[in-house]
Every structure is written in C-alpha cells, then in structure tokens.
Amino acid sequence: MSAPIVNTSDRGTGKVPFLRSCSAAWLLLGVLAWGAAAGADHEDLRQAGARHYAAGRYFQAIEAFEKALSVAPDTAKGPIKGDLAHAIAGMGFEYISESEGGLAEETFRKAIGISEDYYANFGLGYLYFMRHEDGEARTYLLASLAAREDYAPTHKLLGLLDYRKGLTREAIERLSLSLRLDPADDESAFLVKRLKSEAGVLTTFPSVSIKHFKLKIDPKIPRNLATRIQVELERNYAGLGKALGVWPRNKVPVVLYSQGRFYEATGSQHWVGGFYDGQIKLPVPVEVDEKSPAFRKLLEVLRHEYVHLLIVELAAECPMWLNEGIAQYFEASYTRDAVYSRLKDSKEIRIPLKKMPARLGKIDDVALARWVYLQGLGFVEFLAEKYKPFRLRLLLRAIAEEHSTAAAFERIYGRSTGELEKEWWERVENPAGLK
C-alpha cells in the first residue's frame, strides 16, 4: 500500500474539512479585526464571504469578496485581497480532491497573484509534494511559513520532505513542531512515534547493496530468505520495469524487518502486508521456508509495493484507488472470476470511483479498506482485459502530462471515467454477456 501523507480530505466527500476549518478560523479573525475600522457595506460583504467560505461554498465566497473589494476604500483593500486569495485557494484544494492537478495549480497561482496568502502557497507546496517535485514544494512551503508561521500542516509537509531526503532527525523535529502547534493531529503523533521507533531499530540492521537496490536487513531474517528476496527484487526491476516502461535511475531503498519487529517499529495496522513511503518496507516471516504460503505471499506484496514505486516515478498524481488497483493487477495474486463474484454480491456498499477515500494509510475500518482495494482491482482488471494492459502505462503517462485523471482517461480510452465505470459494473453483473 502507499504510505500516508497529509490528510486533506474527508472519507469520500471530496471536501477539505481540517484545512478549511483551520483557515476559516484565521479568515474570520481577520474579518473581525478589521470590522471596526471599515465601512458597513464592504464589511457586510466580507462577513458574508467568510460565512460562505466556512461552509465550503467557495464560488459564493469569491463573489462576495470580489464585491467587497470593488466598494471598499483603498485603506481596506489589502485584507480583502487576502480573503479573496484564501477563498480561491480553497477551490484549489477541491480540484486536488477531484484529481485535477492542472486546474489546482492554475487556481493557486491565481490566488498568489492577488495576495501572498499562506494557504495558497501551502496549496502549491502540497501539489508539488504530491508530484515529488521536492525543490518546488519546499520553495512554496517556506513562502507559506513566511506568511504564517504557526500553520501546522506546512511544518508537517516540510518534515515529510526531510524524511524523503533521508534526514530523519530533522523530520522528527519538524513533525514534532507540527504536533505542538496542533496537538489534536493524530497523524503527526503517529509519524513522530513511528520515525523515532524506526530510527532506533534501523541502527542495528546491516546494509547490503545489490545492482539496483540498497537494503537494510533485520539480523533475525535467515540468510536464505534475504537472498531470495534480493533475487526477486532484481526480477521485478526487469519485469515490472518493462511492463510499465520505467526503471529507477537511483538504487531503491528497501528495509526488511522480521515480521514481529515490523509492526512494533512502524506502528502499522495488523492487516498491512508492507508499504512504500519512499522506501519499500516489508515484514518477513522468519520461521518458514521459501516454498511456504506465507513467504510466497510476501513476494507478491514485494511486487505490489514495487509497482507503487514505479507509479510514483511515472505519475505521482495518480489517484489512490487507481494506484492500488494497478499494484494489485501486477501483483497477480487473484482470479478475475473471484473478484467479479465478490463485487457482484456487494451492491449495497459500492462506492463511485470519484467518491473513493483520498488515502488509505489511516483508515481504521478494515472492511472499507479491503473494499476500496477490491473496487480498484476490479476496474483495472476490466481496463486491462478490454483495452489491453499496455494502455495502463499510457494512462499513467497521460496523468503526468495532463495533470488531470479525467482528461487522461478521455485521451487514452476515448471515454470518460464515468462511462467506463458504468460499462464495468454492467460487466460485473453479466461477465459472460459482454464483449
């Protein structure tokens, strides 16, 4: 599975309540602070805009702030421009939730052109973070801090950028600061605890370097199992690289934990079989042989996590459900009939693809997580079966180029995601009756 990042969306709602609530409070405080010194007409419009913003009605908020700006005296225009930029940035996060990165970038830049708003700069930083363009991400996040030093999500993202660079100590310091600014942020608390725990454990793991990978290996793992995993890694580099058309230029970091130590060090849920967070991290069963079902399952998970790495290389903006679907498809541990049967028998819990949870890392509902995986796999299986697997590679490239999942589907398949989804569910209902 892909590793958790900053939480910017509710499960399946497409809204951004945490970020919106923090920034809405900031905006309302600004409105009240300026209220006494401003005229009633434009101040009433500002109050109306702030209310629309707090409710997530960004278009109405923008309209109200634009009207306020048009009638305000010059001495009051500065803070209203800040309000307007803030509301435009809120709309940018909606575009991110809908996998419309191109529109989000355009919207954040428009907001910054009006006012150097911390939230708009954070939005661009977040977008570049998602794209793994870390230099640009850091630039805009630091600009966000210059406008507002106490915004916890900005410190969190900077901490995660440090972690990507291998600066674990700096990452822990930055994430700890984020947690002090927002003690209710369970994700920052989880990350601080996990990174501290991992840092303490990994100092005892010897390093091994092979042709395309650099590994840290738990001493508890038998040598024959560690060697077999190294062989499988190189096979995946060649085979999956050919399938998706991408081969990492730098050696890929991999951490092999003994199974018990994996859950203790990473704090992962019991159903997590491994994850990729810039490093491939796996729990290796140590009291088995290479032919055991448990070890064979581990090799499937290894393929799955390596595909996540390749998807990040190809299209970092790929939506979670598609990312997981493609990873499972290449994991190749399923039968189509079994997947379609489970999908057909569960009509009452189907989730439209556009309403899928934005991320899986912190889902506590195991049933929901498994269902999201299943739907993603079923849809990708349909695409590969009808339109051939090579188009998955083309789709990922199109997502990277278009910065829009919807536009990428139209370009590669000639149909909208909704149209393809409708045909897929028809095929689920009658697998033998459609060609």
Position 23 scores a pLDDT of 61
Q: What is the pLDDT of residue 355?
A: 83
pLDDT score for 395: 97
Distance CA 16, CA 377 (A): 26
CA dihedral for 296, 302, 304, 310, sign (positive or negative): negative
Same domain, 329 and 422: yes
39 and 102 inside one domain: yes
Residue 358, pLDDT score: 63
Cα–Cα distance, 62 to 83 (Å, whole number): 8
Q: What pLDDT is stored for residue 120 in this prediction?
A: 96
Q: Which residue has the higher pLDDT, 312 or 347?
A: 312
- Position 368 scores a pLDDT of 82
Query: Are 31 and 142 found together in one domain?
Result: yes
- The tens digit of pLDDT for each residue in 141-172 reads 999 999 999 999 999 999 999 998 889 999 99
Q: Are residues 133 and 219 both part of a single domain?
A: no
Whole-number pLDDT of residue 410: 96
Domain that holds residue 278: 207-314
- How does the average pLDDT of the chain come out, rounded? 88
Q: Is residue 6 part of a domain?
A: no
Listed range (12-26, 72-86, 271-285, 397-411) with the worst mean pLDDT: 12-26
Q: Are residues 118 and 23 in the same domain?
A: yes
On whether residue 227 sits in a domain, the answer given is: yes
105 has a pLDDT exceeding 80 = yes
Look at residue 163 and tell me if it is in a domain. Answer: no
Which residue did the predictor score with more confidence, 39 or 221?
Answer: 221
Residue 280 maps to which CATH number?
Answer: 3.40.30.160
Report the pLDDT value the prediction gives residue 366, as an integer from 0 to 100: 75
Average pLDDT over residues 361-365: 59
435 within a domain of the structure (yes/no): no
Q: Do 343 and 390 fall within a single domain? A: yes
- For the residues 324-330, what does the mean pLDDT come to? 95
The region that residue 169 occupies, defined by phi over 0 for left and psi between -120 and 50 for alpha, beta otherwise, is: alpha
Residue 88 lies in a domain: yes
Give the mean pLDDT of 243-249.
Answer: 93
- 398 band by pLDDT with thresholds 50, 70 and 90: very high
Note the pLDDT of residue 431: 75
pLDDT > 50? residue 37: no
In this predicted model, which residue has the larger pLDDT, 431 or 213? 213
Same-domain pairing of 310 and 340 = no
Asked if pLDDT for residue 288 goes beyond 60, the answer is: yes
Q: Is the pLDDT of residue 353 over 60?
A: yes
Tens-place pLDDT, residues 254-275: 999 999 999 999 988 777 889 9
| pLDDT on residue 267 | 87
Predicted local confidence at residue 364, as pLDDT: 64
Quick one: 145 and 22 in the same domain?
yes
Question: Which pLDDT belongs to residue 382?
Answer: 96
Q: What is the CATH number of the domain that holds 105?
A: 1.25.40
Given 314, 347, 381, the domain boundary residue is 314
Residue 392 has pLDDT above 80, yes or no: yes
pTM value surpassing 0.85: no
- Residue 188, in any domain of the structure: no
Per-residue pLDDT at 311:
96
Q: Is 309 in the same domain as 335?
A: no
Tally of domains in the chain = 3
Same domain? 329 vs 249: no
pLDDT of residue 16: 43
Residue 158 lies in a domain: no
> In this predicted model, what pLDDT tens digit does every residue of 165-179 receive, in sequence order?
889 999 999 999 999
pLDDT value, residue 332: 83
pLDDT(433) > 80: no
* Residues 95 and 123 reside in one and the same domain: yes
Q: How many CB atoms lie within 10 A of CB 172?
A: 20
One domain, residues 21 and 77: yes
224 within some domain: yes
pLDDT at 15: 39
